[in-house]
């Protein structure tokens, strides 16, 4: 495991059809999107997840937790938690859940500003959402308000 502050982190924006993925370095506080993982009813191709884990050797997983605006949990919250537990169970890498409210909406706005005008079902913003989730985690780890 890397020194605290220099950890490599894989972040996930859980979804039933696609799971957004981002990678980041805690020391630099930077994140970049990776190709989203296709999912079938929220279940990814675990061999593809294993390939990512082998390639990046993360010290931590961060999974977005889709809470309702009143802080209550939804069916998707339960499924995201289950995904995080499966990541830990399969790979033995610690997993932290992080509030992701508004990340998809913000990701769509970023995509529009960047000139992406397509149908969001065809043009995935899940990777952008995963970056936002990880950047929010970095900000909280430093005691800053989320971006």
User: Which pLDDT tens digits describe the chain residue by residue (147 residues)?
Assistant: 455 558 999 999 999 999 999 999 998 888 999 999 999 999 999 999 999 999 999 999 999 999 888 888 989 999 999 999 999 999 999 999 998 876 666 666 666 666 554 444 445 788 888 999 999 899 887 665 555
CATH of the domain at 124: 3.30.420.140
Q: How far apart are CA 76 and CA 6, in angstroms?
A: 31
Structure pTM? Answer: 0.84
Q: Is residue 83 part of a domain?
A: yes
Q: Is residue 35 part of a domain?
A: yes
Which domain range does residue 129 map to?
Answer: 8-141
Identify the three-state secondary structure at position 40. strand
Q: How many domains, in total, are found in the chain?
A: 1
What is residue 118's predicted lDDT score, i.e. its pLDDT? 46
Nearest to 55 by CA among 35, 76, 26, 28: 35
Q: Is residue 146 part of a domain?
A: no
Determine whether 93 is exposed, middle or buried from the number of CB atoms within 10 Å of its CB (0-12, 13-18, 19+).
middle
Q: Is residue 120 part of a domain?
A: yes
| Phi and psi, residue 128, nearest 5° | -65, -40
């Amino acid at each position: 495991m890397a020194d605290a502050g220099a950890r490599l982190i894989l972040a996930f924006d859980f979804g039933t059809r696609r799971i957004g993925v981002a990678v980041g370095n805690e020391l630099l506080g930077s994140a970049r999107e990776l190709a989203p993982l296709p999912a079938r009813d929220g279940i990814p191709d675990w061999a593809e997840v294993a390939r990512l884990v082998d390639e990046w050797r993360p010290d931590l997983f961060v999974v977005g937790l889709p809470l309702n605006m009143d802080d209550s949990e939804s069916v998707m919250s339960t499924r995201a938690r289950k995904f995080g537990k499966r990541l830990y169970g399969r790979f033995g890498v610690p997993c932290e859940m992080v509030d992701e409210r508004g990340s998809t909406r913000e990701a769509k706005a970023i995509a529009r500003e960047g000139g992406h005008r397509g149908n969001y079902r065809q043009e995935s913003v899940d990777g952008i959402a995963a970056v936002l989730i990880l950047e929010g985690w970095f900000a909280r780890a430093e005691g800053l308000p989320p971006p």
